[in-house]
Amino acid sequence: MNTTSCPVCEASVSIPADAMQNELIACADCGSELEIISLSPIQLDLAPDVEEDWGE
Amino acid sequence: MRVAILLTHIRPEEKLLINAFEAHGITPDIILDRDFNFDLLGDATQFSPSGVAWGNYDLVLERCVSTSRGLYALAILNQWGVHTLNSYHTASVCADKIMTTLALACANVPQPRARVAFDEAHTLDAIEELTYPAVLKPATGSWGRLVARVNDRDSAEALLEHRQVLGDYNYHTYYVQEFVQKPSRDIRAFVVGDRTICAIYRTSPHWITNTARGGQATNCPITPELSDLCLAASRAVGGGILAMDVFETPEGGLVINEINHTMEFKNSSAPTGVNIADEVVAYALSTITESSIASLEGALA
């Protein structure tokens, strides 16, 4: 399992072995919702804010 | 066979679907809705963000969490003759509670009484015709967002003033629904094609039982009554891959509350023992064959 740092709090974030680009993950330290924007190299960014029309 | 999945980002559901497609030997192209750039005067020969012409996809599965982006994409792709799940027709009916109610009413599918009004005075009348408590909902929206139980005239007046003053025009359409005195749970049933594949109870001490709002999921047996109701509701809105929110009434009946066209299901496979992602993918692939036959018949006609 790879690790990288949270773009919000800089804590270490574990990236699952089966992670996919554009997958959402959470930072265990600060709770921020993050998006994996690149797998090679691993890059995280804050996930987009929830918008009014989001849902099922 | 070429398949694309439209999505906003990859949630657990999309990951399960991608893995299910791969189990069938198909690697779907992932197309982000933020990358859309359609030439509206063009046709299906234009390239999607994946580099493949839209018309070369045998199936486009819409899984956008953004309802507006998903709906517009489906409208465009269906106009161009691209096979999608769900169809724009089904998605547009389910995305709007008023249109859903009308479709269910047209098909005589049991549902709570509902009214719509467009200003505060007439919405007050509508609420009182349904009697307190009533439920005030935005016509569009999900996850129980801005759904309010209206217990009395004071709360009705306050809610309506807030919506009128603080909301944009979308919130000035007042969809009011009868409050159903359900047990501390509702039912979320999953319809895939012409089958009700499984269902869960969503139990919560709160009157809003969405799992997004903390409702706990347990298996709900599929009775003939539940299955028949869900299939009738599915047909009423155009069919496809749908999640039905069902209430049990005090009289012992079942009514359809809402229908979701890009359902979340990560909490539902474990309690039901049904691999929902695999069911969805198997159905989706079966529609490609049907769609191809229909196209061939159309070409030969």
CB–CB of B68 and A21 under 8 A? no
Examine the pLDDT at B144 and tell me if it is beyond 90. Answer: no
Q: Determine whether the interchain pair A54/B32 forms a contact, defined as Cβ–Cβ distance below 8 Å.
A: no
Report whether pLDDT(B111) > 70: yes
Q: Residue B300's pLDDT is what? A: 66
Contact assignment for B142 to A54 by CB distance below 8 Å? yes
Integer distance in angstroms from the first to the last C-alpha of chain A? 31
| Segment B112-126, tens digit of pLDDT | 999 999 999 999 999
Per-residue model confidence (pLDDT) at position A52: 86
Per-residue pLDDT averaged across B23-27, rounded?
A: 97
Average pLDDT estimate for B146-160? 96
Determine the distance from the C-alpha atom of residue B295 to the mean position of all C-alpha atoms in its chain, rounded to a whole number: 27
Q: Maximum CA pair distance of chain A?
A: 35
Q: B207, B210, B69: which is closest to B149 by C-alpha?
A: B207
Contact A48 B10 (CB under 8 A): no
- Here the tokens at position B62 are 């819409």
Amino acid B295: pLDDT: 67
Q: Which chain B residues are Cβ-neighbours of A48 within 8 angstroms?
A: 8-9, 34
Q: State how far the Cα of A27 lies from the Cα of A32, in Å rounded to an integer.
A: 5
Which pLDDT band, with edges at 50, 70 and 90, does B156 fall under?
very high
pLDDT band at B296 (very low <50, low <70, confident <90, very high): low
Q: Is there a contact between A22 and B145 if contact means CB atoms under 8 Å apart? A: no
Judging contacts by C-beta atoms under 8 Å, the chain B residues touching residue A51 are: 66
Residue A4 has pLDDT above 70, yes or no: yes
> What is the number of CB-based contacts under 8 A between chain A and chain B?
53
pLDDT tens-digit map of B53-108? 999 999 999 999 999 999 999 999 999 999 999 999 999 999 999 999 999 999 99
- Taking the Cβ of residue A24 and every Cβ of chain B, the question of whether any pair is shorter than 8 Å is answered with yes
The larger pLDDT score, comparing residue B212 to residue B281, is at B281
Checking if the pLDDT of B280 tops 70, the result is yes
DSSP string, chain B: --EEEEESSB-HHHHHHHHHHHHTT--PEEEEGGG----TTS-TTSBPTTSSBGGG-SEEEEE-SBHHHHHHHHHHHHHTT--EES-HHHHHHHT-HHHHHHHHHHTT-----EEEESSHHHHHHHHHHH-SSEEEE-SS--TTTT-EEE-SHHHHHHHHHHHHHHS-GGGGSEEEEEPP---SEEEEEEEETTEEEEEEEEE-SSS---GGGTPEEEE----HHHHHHHHHHHHHHT-SEEEEEEEE-TTS-EEEEEEESS---TTTHHHHT--HHHHHHHHHHHHHHHHHHHHHHHHH-
B63 part of contact set with chain A, CB < 8 Å: no
Q: Which residue of chain A has the CA closest to B146?
A: A52
When pLDDT is cut at 50, 70 and 90, the band that residue B170 belongs to is confident
Distance CA B65, CA A5 (A): 27
Query: Please, which pLDDT band fits residue B252 given cuts at 50, 70 and 90?
Result: very high
Q: What is the pLDDT of residue B279?
A: 98
Give the bridge partners for B114, in sequence order.
B177
Assess: ipTM above 0.95: no
Single pTM value for the model:
0.94
Number of residues written out for chain A: 56
Please tell me if residue A48 touches chain B, with a CB cutoff of 8 Å. yes
Phi and psi at residue B91, in whole multiples of 5°?
Answer: -65, -40
Compute the nearest-CA separation of B5 from chain A (Å). 13
